[in-house]
Amino acid sequence: MTQCRSFLCCYFTAPPCVERTCIMSKGTVVLAYSGGLDTSCILVWLKEQGYNVIAYLANIGQDEDFEAARKKAESLGAKKVFIEDLRSQFVEDFIWPAVQANAVYEDRYPLGTAVARPCIAHRQVEIARREGAQFVSHGATGKGNDQIRFELTCYALYPEVKVSLLFHFLQPYSEIEMYNIRFLSILYLPIFSNSKHGIPVPVTPRSHAPADLYLMTKNPEDSPNEPDVLEIEFKNGVPVRVTNVKESTSKDTPLDIFSYLNEIGGKHGVGRIDIVENRFIGMKSRGIYETPGGTVLLKAHLDIETFTMDKEVRRIKQGLGIRFSELVYNGFWDSPECDFVRHCIAKSQENVEGKVQLSVFKGQVYILGRESSKSLYNEELVSMDVQGDYDPCDASGFIRINAVRLAARES
């Protein structure tokens, strides 16, 4: 089972297989370390082969005992351990651009895991450069998307670095020896896991996910019987304040805003999806995701954007959002084309400001209303009772011109 947890999303997928190559030279390795079995095995093996291992743990909002993981890494022989709090950076530099883009892959997946990977890899590269490391490593598997996301980011930011995949260094060994290594590791490693969360994900697409699989969201059937009404204020397409209307409480820093939306969305069971998606390498995989705060924000942002953005600009921007989602999903956050698309999207957001009121209730987000000083909505112009500057007679010519092509098709 592959599992990713951050405060943007949580997901589980069925376990893929692993490909292997060999690290030929010794040096210093910065290992993206989770405290779990795979990265602990990697740490021990690299240490035994003579490498200096620097363990790096990224706090992107997951519920983890980082000090326990630090002690474990040190006990296994890590030369240094870095625990980096990336939560604010994750929200401001990665989640907010995704919100501006209305980033959703294949119409359903809000890219929670995909935007977390470059955030983690950015700091890993910083540490590798600072510590003079020749290698970086991670625990991603050989058939998933995460290995691509980690490695493309590392190569983009640190071209001379060498990247080692999960068990790359075991290539000279037989399958039996590999399992022996893993078994021996189980015997003497203090396992850092939680049996409650060690839930197998059904491989068959028709099987229902276990009810206790979800970590961030309540079952909507068990959620409160009263909605939470929120007002989210946007400026330049990013949230600057969220207010609970009934409780009169507000949050106005990026991290607090997103954490609070996760809390409210999770309480009401918002943001669960069960999909079969197309991985970059070509195969289809089943993914079960939870993105409570992100789902609330995407609904609100889409509403205020439509309210304040010119129709033709939004049409172009919508295409850019789809392209952005594909680039991020496929691991190209640090590519020149993704940088270009991000700048275009940011430009489109200059007038996207205002407030959206919404209700969060029983797994759903309902838009209640919106207001903005940059609104392009003209109540008098669209009214059926007031003519204003619009002459209904003009519509006849407009319709006839557009009908020429349709009539020609049948003639």
- Residues 224-247 have pLDDT tens digits of 999 999 999 999 999 999 999 999
Q: Please report the pLDDT score of residue 317 as a whole number.
A: 98
Same-domain pairing of 221 and 73: no
Same-domain pairing of 174 and 29: yes
Q: Rounded to whole angstroms, what are the CA distances from 69 to 44, 46, 59, 150?
A: 14, 18, 12, 21
Domain end point (choices 132, 162, 197): 197
Q: Please report the pLDDT score of residue 200 as a whole number.
A: 53
Q: Quick one: which H or E segment has residue 155? A: helix 146-157
Same-domain pairing of 289 and 323: yes
Q: Please report the pLDDT score of residue 11 as a whole number.
A: 54
Contact 299, 293 (CB under 8 A): no
For residues 316 and 314, give the distance between their C-alpha atoms in angstroms, rounded to a whole number: 5
Contact 205, 213 (CB under 8 A): no
In a domain, 203, yes or no: no
Can you tell me which residue has the tokens 């275009």? Answer: 344
Q: Please report the pLDDT score of residue 4 as a whole number.
A: 55
**Domain at 281, CATH number:** 3.90.1260.10
Q: Please report the pLDDT score of residue 71 as a whole number.
A: 96
Place 38 in a pLDDT band, splitting at 50, 70 and 90. Answer: confident
Q: Please report the pLDDT score of residue 211 as a whole number.
A: 85
pLDDT of residue 173 exceeding 70: no
Question: Poorest-confidence range of 132-146, 252-266, 343-357?
Answer: 132-146
In a domain, 273, yes or no: yes
The predicted model gives 201-223 an average pLDDT of 85
Same-domain pairing of 333 and 354: yes
Tokens representing residue 357 in the block: 């009121």
pLDDT of residue 280 exceeding 90: yes
Same-domain pairing of 357 and 396: no
Same-domain pairing of 32 and 176: yes
Percentage of the chain lying above the pLDDT 90 cut: 69
In a domain, 21, yes or no: yes
In a domain, 277, yes or no: yes
For residues 387 and 392, give the distance between their C-alpha atoms in angstroms, rounded to a whole number: 8
Question: 355-386, pLDDT tens digit by residue?
Answer: 999 999 999 999 999 999 999 988 766 655 65
Question: Poorest-confidence range of 31-40, 171-180, 268-277, 297-306?
Answer: 171-180
Burial bucket for residue 395 (CB in 10 Å: 0-12, 13-18, 19+): exposed
pLDDT of residue 3 exceeding 70: no
In a domain, 310, yes or no: yes
Query: Averaging pLDDT over each range in 198-202, 212-216, 320-324, which range is the top one?
Result: 320-324
Instruction: Report how many domains make up the chain.
Output: 3
Q: Please report the pLDDT score of residue 384 as a whole number.
A: 59
In a domain, 22, yes or no: yes
Same-domain pairing of 391 and 319: no
pLDDT of residue 104 exceeding 90: yes
pLDDT of residue 192 exceeding 60: no
Q: Please report the pLDDT score of residue 17 as a whole number.
A: 38
Mean pLDDT of the chain: 86
Query: Of 145, 105, 149, 103, which is closest to residue 2 (Cα–Cα)?
Result: 145
Q: Rounded to whole angstroms, what are the CA distances from 315 to 143, 192, 280, 306?
A: 35, 48, 26, 10
Same-domain pairing of 274 and 148: no
In a domain, 125, yes or no: yes
Question: Poorest-confidence range of 58-62, 129-133, 174-178, 298-302?
Answer: 174-178
Burial bucket for residue 39 (CB in 10 Å: 0-12, 13-18, 19+): buried
In a domain, 376, yes or no: no
Domain span at residue 395? 382-410
For residues 69 and 83, give the distance between their C-alpha atoms in angstroms, rounded to a whole number: 9
Same-domain pairing of 400 and 316: no
The predicted model gives 36-53 an average pLDDT of 89
Domain end point (choices 169, 197, 225): 197
H helices present in 26-143, as ranges: 37-48, 66-75, 87-89, 96-100, 112-131
Same-domain pairing of 218 and 74: no
Tell me the pTM. Answer: 0.84
pLDDT of residue 341 exceeding 80: yes
Same-domain pairing of 76 and 177: yes
Q: Please report the pLDDT score of residue 277 as a whole number.
A: 94
The predicted model gives 109-130 an average pLDDT of 97
Question: 64-101, pLDDT tens digit by residue?
Answer: 899 999 999 999 999 999 999 999 999 999 999 999 99
Question: 285-334, pLDDT tens digit by residue?
Answer: 999 999 999 999 999 999 999 999 999 999 999 999 999 999 999 999 99
Q: Rounded to whole angstroms, what are the CA distances from 168 to 23, 79, 356, 358?
A: 7, 21, 49, 49
pLDDT of residue 191 exceeding 90: no
**Domain at 165, CATH number:** 3.40.50.620
Same-domain pairing of 351 and 390: no
